[in-house]
């Protein structure tokens, strides 16, 4: 690249060559040179939040008479364009950079300043300074944590929660659809007493519902913003009302419940709210893995496995075995679960990287948390639409296995005692007969009484301890 393709800019450290077409300036260019590490960039949602913060800061500084109206208007417009993604290709700093995110904050300041200069009319054209004007009343130390909170909260409430609610609704609906099918229950992967297929789906639906509640609870901790604390939390070089005003403006613009931090030293020295959300994502990952593995196991076969349910056939499963179809959606979801566990590990470790008044691992927290939320949202939607809604039951297979189950002997215990019921089960297994056949052969109870006691469907409903009006595992949808 020839010299004409560069321009010389200067900062406090001296001159630096910047690509001629770049909207960024010397601070960003030094970061590009210093951190050629991963090629990862902070996600789109983070840049959206960063642009909003810069617009809100300009608006508030204008209202506080700290920034001329025409200069503020140009910065506001440039910031809106950043938020909308117009300059994403000019955000070139690697995720693995200075732990405060100063390089990314300056990337935004420089891009917005250069664009704002273009927007000013010729008669009023002045230099828009990245620090003195765009960054007025701010520090990287309060801007970057605030952008993290806003971006993560928007993704949780706007994408992840709706995706999980859709999954929970689909599992509940499938449970109601299949509730009449009785099947073998299993503990330790061994035969146990019967359950209804609807009860299993209801349990999975409740898992998702509770995982979603934990995510929502953790996300509430993102409501407090560090903005207004500036360098160390004291608010040096900013107006006393700046933090509250910017937080209020951001809340109105985003529709999120946002407010100035109660304590700016906590808000900048720690990233505990992000760590809590990372933990909730790990919990969600564990939930998704349980459901995925259960469905894969129940659908195993089609001839030599459990085969109680049939998952949608989506693609050929083998490059060598013709006709083979694999449970690809359950495997994809399990891998997403592994990723979410890793998100928590990264965010948890990075959350410990606080030294006195500042956490110094905010960029990697932002990257991992936002990627985790994005991937979990997409995976939940894909799994719901491509797998859950298309699941069918093999009723004949379920009946066959229930009739063979030795777990039916459990229902005999109140009538003949544990030891005698155990002997029935052992003999049935030894002679290859069903529990009912063996019990009749032994003549332990009248045939009609045996038929009543050993009815598998009856075993799936509460009896001796008071019948409930609503069957376990099948729940009505909440009103929305």
Active site residues: 188, 318
Q: Which H or E run contains 414?
A: helix 413-416
- Taking the mean position of all CA atoms in its chain, how far away is CA 185? 31
429, two tokens:
């297994």
- Taking the mean position of all CA atoms in its chain, how far away is CA 423? 50
How far are the Cα atoms of 243, 267, 333, 355 from residue 262, in angstroms, in the given order? 11, 8, 39, 20
- Short-list 54, 42, 56, CA closest to 128: 54
Rg (CA), the chain: 30
CB 156: neighbour CB atoms within 10 A?
26
Q: Could you identify the residue written with the tokens 């419940």? A: 257
- To 5 degrees, how large is the angle CA 148–CA 149–CA 152? 80
Omega before 370 within 30 of 0, i.e. cis: no
Instruction: Classify 142 as helix, strand or coil.
Output: helix
Q: Is the dihedral of CA 457, 459, 462, 465 positive or negative?
A: positive
- To 5 degrees, how large is the angle CA 172–CA 178–CA 179? 80
**Gap between the Cα atoms of 223 and 251, Å rounded:** 9
For 219, residues 6+ apart whose C-beta sits below 8 A from its C-beta are 152, 153, 156, 157, 277, 280
Number of H helices, E strands in the chain: 18, 12
**Gap between the Cα atoms of 221 and 284, Å rounded:** 17
**Gap between the Cα atoms of 152 and 334, Å rounded:** 23
169, two tokens:
């609704």
């Amino acid at each position: 690249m020839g010299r004409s393709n560069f321009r010389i800019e200067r900062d406090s450290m001296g001159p630096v060559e910047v690509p001629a077409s770049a909207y960024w300036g010397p601070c960003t260019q030094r970061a590009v040179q210093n951190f050629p590490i991963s090629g990862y960039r902070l996600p789109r949602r983070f840049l959206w939040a960063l642009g909003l913060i810069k617009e809100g800061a300009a608006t508030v500084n204008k209202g506080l008479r700290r920034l001329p109206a025409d200069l503020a208007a140009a910065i506001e417009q440039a910031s809106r364009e950043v938020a909308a993604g117009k300059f994403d290709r000019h955000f070139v700093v690697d995720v693995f950079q200075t732990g405060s995110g100063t390089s990314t904050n300056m990337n935004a300041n420089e891009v917005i300043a250069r664009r704002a200069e273009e927007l000013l009319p010729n008669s009023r054209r002045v230099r828009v300074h990245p620090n003195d004007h765009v960054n007025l009343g701010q520090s990287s130390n309060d801007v970057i944590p605030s952008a993290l909170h806003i971006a993560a909260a928007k993704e949780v409430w706007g994408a992840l929660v709706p995706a999980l609610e859709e999954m929970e609704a689909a599992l509940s609906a499938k449970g109601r659809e299949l509730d009449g099918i009785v099947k073998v229950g299993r503990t330790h992967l061994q035969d146990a007493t019967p359950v209804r297929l609807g009860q299993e789906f209801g349990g999975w639906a409740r898992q998702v519902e509770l995982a979603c509640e934990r995510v929502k609870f953790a996300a509430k901790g993102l409501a407090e913003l560090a903005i207004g604390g500036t360098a160390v939390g004291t608010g040096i070089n900013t107006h006393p009302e700046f933090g509250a005003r910017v937080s209020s403006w951001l809340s109105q613009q985003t529709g999120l419940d946002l407010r100035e931090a109660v304590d700016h030293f906590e808000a900048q020295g720690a990233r505990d709210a992000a760590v809590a959300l990372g933990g909730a994502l790990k919990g969600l990952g564990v939930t998704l893995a349980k459901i995925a593995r259960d469905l894969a196991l129940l659908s195993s076969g089609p001839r030599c496995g459990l085969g109680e349910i049939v998952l949608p056939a989506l693609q050929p499963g083998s490059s060598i075995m013709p006709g083979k179809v694999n449970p690809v959606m359950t495997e994809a979801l399990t891998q997403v679960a592994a990723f979410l566990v890793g998100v928590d590990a990264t965010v948890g470790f990075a959350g410990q990287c606080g030294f006195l008044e500042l956490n110094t691992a905010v960029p990697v927290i932002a990257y991992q948390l936002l990627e985790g939320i994005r991937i979990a949202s997409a995976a939940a939607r894909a799994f719901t639409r491509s797998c859950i809604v298309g699941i069918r039951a093999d009723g004949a297979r379920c009946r066959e296995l229930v009739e063979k189950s030795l777990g039916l002997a459990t229902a005999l215990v109140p009538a003949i005692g544990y030891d005698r019921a155990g002997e029935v089960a052992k003999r049935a297994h030894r002679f290859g007969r069903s529990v009912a056949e063996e019990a009749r052969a032994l003549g332990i109870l009248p045939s009609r009484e045996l038929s009543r006691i050993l009815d598998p469907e009856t075993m799936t409903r509460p009896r001796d301890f008071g019948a409930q009006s609503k069957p376990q595992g099948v729940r009505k949808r909440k009103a929305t």
